[in-house]
Amino acid sequence: MSIASINPTTGEVLQNFAALTDGARAAKLDGAAAAYALWRQVPIPQRAAIWLRVAELLEQRSPELGAIATWEMGKPIGAAIAEVRKCATVCRHYAVHGAELLAPTAASTDATTALVRYDPLGIIMAIMPWNFPYWQVFRCAAPILMAGNVLVLKHASNVPQCAIAIETLLLEAGLPPGVFQTLLITTNQVEAVLADGRVHGATLTGSEAAGQSLAIAAGRHLKKVVLELGGNDPFIVMPSADVERAVQAAVLSRMQNNGQSCIAAKRFLLHRAIAPQFTELLQAQLFALRVGNPLLPETQVGPLATPRLRQELHAQVQRTLDLGGTLLLGGDPAPYDASFPYGCFYPPTILSDIPPQSPAATEELFGPVAALFVVDSLDEAIALANQSEFGLGASIWSSQPQEQQQGIAELEAGAVFVNGMVKSHPAVPFGGIKRSGFGRELGREGIHEFTNIKTVCTWE
């Protein structure tokens, strides 16, 4: 079976790769096990030095690495380069803070001394998506490898060149062979890896269906998993907010990565007092976005990653309209550039008057579509926000401290941002609740997820 790299702008097959045979896959795991026996003994300062070198290479190679992502999944080139450079920040964070985060912590018991250690587990499997083909990998790899584990990566099938480029860069930076390996395997081969007794856990970022499948397999084999799944993030704007600033953030949050981000603001819950102003500004700014060839630096919105994704998004928009929603902007999936008739483009789109049971209200719309809701109070906004089965991120825009604190306390999400768009940062944990998954990446919590949190009590 082959794994194809296909340009979503042109439909060109860039390269085909043969999936690993069972024997080749087993050999990769043998190499990972051998590497773990050595890597876990490498002092943390030496691991940190490698990650600092990785950060340097990421910054140096960001133009060429960014171009690979643009070719494979359509991310505008400026955003692709920025993504690679962001990866350098997580590498540096764990290089600088890894020793502190992994240091044993003291506890008070009846023992003479009591400590909690954070020891590595072994081989961890990472199943990563295509939408942030570098950041998602480094976001999990930096803490997992700094903790002394080794990692095998099953990347999304449409970004094999990105996956190979990551392993090549890590080896060049001095990471020992076998500590990080890209496995060019199909989804059907994942459970065979998870079933191996030397594999002690898996982390997945992806769809609900993918998360459910992995969780079921992990349950069969009693392996720990961290799941970061979909989101339908609310973006609440109250009358006291700086509306112009909120609209600017709304445009960036909803349209980044061509609208294909799990933590993008998707449901805009607008207080009636500011809804007309917000809607007018949002419509004008989305209409002005430049849609087209993602390799051109002036392009702001490129194609969706695959034809199937465009078809699914358009079907969700049409079902919402059929149920009574209103189309304020966009909604036409026709190509934006005659030179790219294949291109999986979808225009910036705004929906309003959203029916309660429509896709725009209840499902994740993974593309450049904003759903607007009008509310009469913060209580109503929070209730509507929490009706979602997802709980990844949420933001509230208000200058009133009481409203801010109510949003922080009552919004059901793994992250709440006040007067700012939801985003990930190496210093704080990232993850969701409800159908958005469980477990955390990044921060102190992230580096501890795949460690043996070992209690040590000693009596003299």
Q: Which residue has the tokens 């928009």?
A: 317
Whether 72 is a known active-site residue: answer: no
Confidence of residue 40 (pLDDT cuts 50, 70, 90): very high
pLDDT > 80? residue 334: no
Three-state SS annotation for 130-152: CCCCCHHHHHHHHHHHHCCCEEE
Confidence of residue 276 (pLDDT cuts 50, 70, 90): very high
Catalytic residue among 228, 363, 364, 449: 228
Q: Which domains does the chain have, with CATH numbers?
A: 2-229+436-458 (3.40.605.10), 233-425 (3.40.309.10)
pLDDT in tens, 67-94: 999 999 999 999 999 999 999 999 999 9
Distance CA 204, CA 159 (A): 16
Q: What is the pLDDT of residue 123?
A: 98
pLDDT > 60? residue 160: yes
Distance CA 268, CA 282 (A): 11
pLDDT in tens, 400-420: 999 999 999 999 999 999 999
Is this model's pTM higher than 0.75 or not? yes
Least Cα distance to 231 among 26, 62, 395 occurs for 395
Distance CA 322, CA 80 (A): 36
Distance CA 294, CA 400 (A): 40
pLDDT in tens, 283-326: 999 999 999 999 999 999 999 999 999 999 999 999 999 999 99
Judging by beta carbons within 10 Å of its beta carbon (0-12, 13-18, 19+), is residue 319 exposed, middle or buried? middle
Q: What is the pLDDT of residue 335?
A: 60
Mode of pairing for the β-strands spanning 451-458 and 113-120? antiparallel
pLDDT in tens, 199-212: 999 999 999 999 99
Find the mean pLDDT for residues 172-195: 97
Whether 262 is a known active-site residue: answer: yes
Catalytic residue among 87, 162, 262, 344: 262
